Amino acid sequence: MQTVDVSLADRSYPIHIGSDLLSRIDLLLPHLVRPKAAIVTNTTVAPLYLEGVVTRLRSEGIETISVILPDGEQYKTWQTLNLIFDALLANHCERSTTLIALGGGVVGDMTGFAAATYQRGMPFIQIPTTLLAQVDSSVGGKTAVNHPLGKNMIGAFYQPKLVIADTTSLVSLPDRELSAGIAEIIKYGLIRDLPFLEWLEANMEALIQRDATALEYAIARSCINKAEVVTADERESGERAILNFGHTFGHAIEAALGFGAWLHGEAVAVGMLLATDLSIRLGLMPSGATERVANLLRRAKLPVTMPAISADQFISLMAHDKKVDAGKIRFVLLGKIGQAFLSDRVPENILRDVLTQPAIHA
């Protein structure tokens, strides 16, 4: 087991990464304020892992409540969030009850938002079971639900007490979900860790084949990168915004197609290509960078071509992005591979060229 610490003073917490950690009840117990926990999961994850977690907790005298949500990004809504609140209220859960998110990014985001708002705050623990959640959404305290006009537009910053990333859970992950998680891993190399990107270029096939050593290294390296950024800028007032590389485009793709049509990581993959192309057209990078990124995404079995969305719709949806400031869309751009920065100085004509004249074709 490897442990990465997120250092945020009294809100600090460990991320434990390794195999068979779901059986390690000793990792959970020190973080339970009271002997009562509500486990939030979904219809896909529940048959695989819920019973084991419940049994181990109950063997230690922990009362448990299970909340099983429908699975899919399209259910990341206020209506689904209320299912969590309904269960907490019906079972007389108090502020000291611990919420445990057992699932992917949707489960983690909604559980965290419920924890941030139920009785104005209750402790919660992240047990991410998808690669994307293990390397990104479970770390850093961003919680939210979607709105039809924008992804993650309603939420709160609220840190977990603990993150447990069990690599064994990735064995049951569909290939498409695995690739979606690798998109977020590639992101860290592109924005701030060139040696890691070079490692990914040398080891992509091992990741796709679910080599345990490669996966554990990639997860830990990703978490180290995110922990460093979150520690420096917890509430995204500056540096943390670079973690959204490709996301302004990607979130627009998800909203335009309907949440759930493309996986988040798939949309981010194309978004990263568009952001790289935009950086090149602004004269920040050499033209070969787009093909380098595209080649790595192809090897990760991710899409590299934009779906049929008009430039007008794209720009309209991006105007609802959380990084919009004073009416200006702010983009995460690359000064070079491994070095990202935030800019609102993007002429609309160049943006439209990126959206209508793609640099990469199938």
Element holding 42 (H helix, E strand): strand 36-42
To the query of whether residue 95 is one of the catalytic residues in this protein, the response is no
Please give the Cα distance from 237 to 241 (Å, whole number): 7
To the query of whether residue 142 is one of the catalytic residues in this protein, the response is yes
To the query of whether residue 73 is one of the catalytic residues in this protein, the response is no
To the query of whether residue 31 is one of the catalytic residues in this protein, the response is no
Name the active-site residue from 42, 146, 177, 184: 184
Total Cβ atoms within 10 A of residue 140: 23
Name the active-site residue from 236, 254, 322, 330: 236
Name the active-site residue from 73, 221, 244, 330: 244
Name the active-site residue from 221, 264, 281, 330: 264
Name the active-site residue from 142, 161, 187, 221: 142
Name the active-site residue from 251, 281, 322, 330: 251
Name the active-site residue from 92, 120, 345, 361: 120
Q: Which two tokens stand for residue 342?
A: 């935030």
Lookup result for tokens 């892992």? 49
To the query of whether residue 16 is one of the catalytic residues in this protein, the response is no
To the query of whether residue 251 is one of the catalytic residues in this protein, the response is yes
Total Cβ atoms within 10 A of residue 240: 19
User: Which residues are CB-contacts of 331 (< 8 A; sequence separation ≥ 6)?
Assistant: 248, 275, 278, 323, 342, 343, 344, 346
To the query of whether residue 320 is one of the catalytic residues in this protein, the response is no
Amino acid at 346: V
Nearest by Cα to 178 from 141, 229, 214, 142: 214
Name the active-site residue from 76, 247, 322, 330: 247
To the query of whether residue 184 is one of the catalytic residues in this protein, the response is yes
Please give the Cα distance from 83 to 15 (Å, whole number): 28
To the query of whether residue 210 is one of the catalytic residues in this protein, the response is no
Name the active-site residue from 226, 281, 322, 330: 226
To the query of whether residue 330 is one of the catalytic residues in this protein, the response is no
Question: Which residues are tagged catalytic?
Answer: 120, 142, 184, 226, 236, 240, 244, 247, 251, 264
